[in-house]
């Protein structure tokens, strides 16, 4: 299936904020980006939605491709669409959250060079607008 339009269209992505909570400590799973833009920066796992898949299927696929995790429960959090959030082109992202009761082992793959769990008070500078997204999530859940 191929589409061609006389006017550019935005791309759609999904991003996942996966949290582990234990004894008052909250950690976030991040990936280190293998490819530009923001190569080497930490980011939320995620990526582009394929033309033939639902948003829920896309977030599950992207998380599994980049971290090896599957069978997580996701809740749609918010949509972000600042026109300059991605330097490549106009991209709109739908952000999902997931909370796990154990810290699963992860395996970086696809376009993730590395995965790691970070305490919320020790987050690195993140790619794209992921710091803003996390600020919104932290306020929403009163972390």
Q: Could you read off the pLDDT of 33-83 as tens digits, one per residue?
A: 999 999 999 999 999 999 999 999 999 999 999 999 999 999 999 999 999
Q: Please report, for the domain that includes residue 110, its CATH number.
A: 3.90.79.10
**What is the number of structural domains in the chain?**
1
On whether the CB atoms of residues 20 and 27 are closer than 8 A, the answer is yes
* pTM confidence score: 0.94
Domain encompassing residue 53 = 11-141
* Cα distance between residue 81 and residue 32, in whole Å: 22
What is the helix (H) or strand (E) element at residue 131, kind and residue range?
A: helix 130-141
What is the distance between the alpha carbons of residues 66 and 49, in angstroms, rounded to a whole number? 14
């Amino acid at each position: 299936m191929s589409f061609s339009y006389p006017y550019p269209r935005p791309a759609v992505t999904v991003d996942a904020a996966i949290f582990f909570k234990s004894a008052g400590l909250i950690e976030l799973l991040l990936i280190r980006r293998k490819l530009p833009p923001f190569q080497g920066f930490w980011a939320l796992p995620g990526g582009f939605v394929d033309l033939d898949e639902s948003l829920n299927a896309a977030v599950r696929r992207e998380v599994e491709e980049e971290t090896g995790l599957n069978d997580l429960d996701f809740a749609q959090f918010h949509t972000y669409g600042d026109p300059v959030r991605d330097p490549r082109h106009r991209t709109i992202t739908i952000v999902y959250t997931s909370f796990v009761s154990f810290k699963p082992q992860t395996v970086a793959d696809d376009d993730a060079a590395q995965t790691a769990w970070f305490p919320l008070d020790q987050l690195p500078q993140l790619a794209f607008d992921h710091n803003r997204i996390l600020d919104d999530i932290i306020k929403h859940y009163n972390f």
